[in-house]
Homo-oligomer: A and B are copies of this chain.
Amino acid sequence: MLSVNHLLGIKDLTLKDIELILETASTFKEVINRPIKKVPSLRDMTIANVFFENSTRTRLSFELAEKRLSADVINFSASGSSVKKGETLLDTVNNILAMKVDMIVMRHASPGAPHFLAKHIQANIINAGDGTHEHPTQALLDAFSMREKLGEIRGKKIAIIGDISHSRVALSNIFALQKLGAEVMVCGPSTLIPKYMKDLGVKVEHQVLRALQWCDVANVLRIQLERQQAQNFPSLREYALYYGINKTLLEKLDREIVIMHPGPINRGVEITSDVADSSHSIILQQVENGVAVRMAVLYLLAQKSKPFD
């Protein structure tokens, strides 16, 4: 059983927790690849997906995971909701819970929002991304995908490349990979790498070729076009030129490395099509594994919520 009642961040998990989630996800991956993709495990639970920020992809993945587990699903999105009417976060969530909802999956723009909630409510909470802080299920599916590809994470070298500052994926990945015994490097222009990275025990690199030469896996982050006005680099073309991963770069390496990306990808910006669609890339496997990993997290937290367990 997990040591926690909520999945707020990877930081709070023990290595044993992570191992348990990854093993349970393996079982569920078999389930979703059978002709009958459903199990009745959460048949009596109601799960609310509470998204204060849009995220079609993550919401869809959670919704499918919940349906595969036979849970009842309620989607709540902030647009046009009582949030705009001046209600507090805690009141909104307490209202949803008063309707006998058993578990909350929440995406929120503010770092720490799910942690705040967890202190004040009974139900289990899963953080589906809190601002630029953590996105724990992404880190877990990334770890699952790496282990599936490489057999073992311990001792492997992982480079996270791109906009580290604005990424909720980077931090969760660093925590997960370090707990699993990997070495982690972050690589990007210095304007996109926070100062505190060195305190986390990760290597920092500004030259992408050197990062690729060092690593077994390159986890390439998305450049968020919508944040381009922040002017952290001169232009997309310049970014692609200095930090974009392309076939030419990969051919300079003396061995094959694994390419990952949390999606959605900007082809031609942080990654070219010949890389994204190559045999190096496990991008679509990450998406598939996302459903299995989320099933595992939901299933394991549901066990914590049942008083008779």
The stretch that binds B, out of A9-17, A87-95, A159-167, is A87-95
Cross-interface CB contact of A263 among B46, B95, B225, cutoff 8 Å: B95
Binary contact readout A264-302 vs B (1 if CB under 8 angstroms, 0 otherwise): 111101000000000000001101101100000000000
A303 within 8 A of B: no
Question: Which residues on the B side are within 8 Å of A287 (C-beta)?
Answer: 95, 98-99
A:25-50 near B, CB below 8 Å: 32-33, 35-38, 44, 46
Q: Give the number of copies in the complex.
A: 3
> Is there contact, CB below 8 Å, between A81 and B99?
no
The stretch that binds B, out of A54-62, A123-131, A248-256, is A54-62
The stretch that binds B, out of A72-80, A109-117, A169-177, A204-212, is A72-80
A64 within 8 A of B: yes
Question: Which residues on the B side are within 8 Å of A35 (C-beta)?
Answer: 44
> Is there contact, CB below 8 Å, between A54 and B81?
yes
Assembled-state Cα–Cα distance A37/B46 (Å): 9
Chain B minimum-CB-distance residue to A78:
B56
> Is there contact, CB below 8 Å, between A290 and B54?
no
A100 within 8 A of B: yes
A192 within 8 A of B: no
A67 within 8 A of B: yes
> Is there contact, CB below 8 Å, between A60 and B76?
yes
Question: Which residues on the B side are within 8 Å of A269 (C-beta)?
Answer: 86
A195 within 8 A of B: no
Cross-interface CB contact of A265 among B63, B91, B222, cutoff 8 Å: B91
Q: A37-B46, A87-B266, A91-B263 are in contact. List 14 more A-B contacts (CB 8 A).
A: A54-B81, A64-B74, A64-B101, A85-B224, A85-B264, A86-B264, A86-B266, A91-B267, A95-B263, A95-B264, A95-B287, A98-B284, A98-B288, A100-B288
